[in-house]
Amino acid sequence: MANDPAVKAMDSMEEVWEAFRPELNEVEAQIEKHLNSHAPLINTVADHILSSGGKRIRPLLLILSARLFSYPEKEFLLLGSLVEFIHTATLLHDDVLDEADIRRGEKTARRVWGNHASILVGDYLYSQAMALIASLHNHDINEIMADACRKMAEGEVLQLCANSQPDLTETDYLKIVEYKTAILVAASCKVGAIIGGASVEEQMALYRFGYNLGMAFQLADDRLDYSADHAKLGKSLGQDIRQGMITLPLIHLLQACSADEQTWLKEKILSHSVDDQELERILGMMRKQGSLAYATSRAREYIEASALDLVSFPENPAKRSLAIVSAYMVNRDQ
């Protein structure tokens, strides 16, 4: 059962990573095993981003959700690697759409191999993941992952249409976050519940937990783009506004600032041209108007909502770990 005496009580994210290292190592082995295209460039490009320091949050959540109920059979840990394939595919596509040059402190795949290679390798990872998921012959897992992929593609288009749109509302932005980020986190938790043998009600509780966690994760990320230590963030501050991307801190600032400031901000957004001095001015305006604090408070609201869906589960190391992951989502500095 999930209440494994070999897993001691945990208090930090580092202890969670270490406690579930055997399962995560198996996920890594599955990633390596199934990154086996006959086109060497696919393996090279995919390995570049898969080995660039990603934290494997989604596979971890899948494992923890399963461990709430039982120890997942080794074959099902394949699903952790496939969730990571899907996530990596979105990163490859995102970097092309955003014209990003740096991710996690390294050159992006598009910068090294070009946009065409990045898009095609992302497509391969999506296809490989769905083919392997189908091979498990589990209708519920097929359905939830297919739905997640469809909504993530919709989210990419929604964000594309929202770029450089300074009148984007918070409601519309949260829909983009739901589709681009929260859906895959929610699906990861539900898939874990399915392989753990959870009831339908328990599966839905973990789906809601993951959804709220994913929303919080992205809103915390929005804040970090304007406030993190750039060395830890792996990129310069203010990349979102430099690329014309409208995220929650900027939406809040546009609503809170003066008419003259709003006009200036909209010009900067539309021009995709913000120098360091102008970014400092924007950061000062955000501090004055409480825009970063607002993004943090909204993230915490989602974390509080996620906690409600854990209440009914019995106390065990997996539940404790999910709570620790939740806190990490909003308190991280990179």
Does residue 199 fall inside a structural domain? yes
Does residue 332 fall inside a structural domain? no
Residue 116: phi and psi, rounded to 5, are -60, -45
Q: How far apart are CA 160 and CA 94, in angstroms?
A: 10
Residue 68 three-state SS: coil
Q: How far apart are CA 160 and CA 145, in angstroms?
A: 23
Q: 193 with 67: CB under 8 angstroms?
A: no
Question: Domain with 214 in it: what CATH number?
Answer: 1.10.600.10
Does residue 64 fall inside a structural domain? yes
Does residue 331 fall inside a structural domain? no
What is the predicted pLDDT for the residue at 74? 75
Query: What is the per-residue pLDDT across 281-308, written as a single tens digit (0 to 9) for each?
Result: 999 999 999 999 999 999 999 999 999 9
Q: Give the count of alpha carbons within 13 A of 279, CB side only.
A: 17
Read off the tokens for 221: 């990320």
Query: What is the per-residue pLDDT across 269-279, written as a single tens digit (0 to 9) for each?
Result: 998 889 999 99
* Domain of residue 249, residue span: 13-318
| Burial 180-196, CB ≥16 within 10 A → b, else e | bbbbbbbbbbbbbbbbb
Q: How far apart are CA 236 and CA 102, in angstroms?
A: 9
Q: How far apart are CA 63 and CA 79, in angstroms?
A: 9
Residue in 192, 171, 182, 178 with CA at minimum distance from that of residue 82: 192
What is the predicted pLDDT for the residue at 8? 52
pTM above 0.85, yes or no: yes
Residue 281: exposed, middle, or buried by beta-carbon count in 10 A (0-12, 13-18, 19+)?
middle
What is the predicted pLDDT for the residue at 9? 56
Q: How far apart are CA 121 and CA 155, in angstroms?
A: 19
Q: How many CB atoms lie within 10 A of CB 25?
A: 11
Does residue 141 fall inside a structural domain? yes
Does residue 298 fall inside a structural domain? yes
Does residue 323 fall inside a structural domain? no
The strand ranges marked E within the chain are 102-103, 106-107
What is the predicted pLDDT for the residue at 2? 40
Read off the tokens for 312: 């009914």
Provide the Cα torsion 328, 330, 333, 334; round to 10°: 80
Domains: count for the chain: 1
What is the predicted pLDDT for the residue at 6? 41
Does residue 327 fall inside a structural domain? no
Read off the tokens for 132: 């392997």
Q: Write out residues in the chain with pLDDT < 50, as ranges.
A: 1-7
What is the predicted pLDDT for the residue at 3? 45
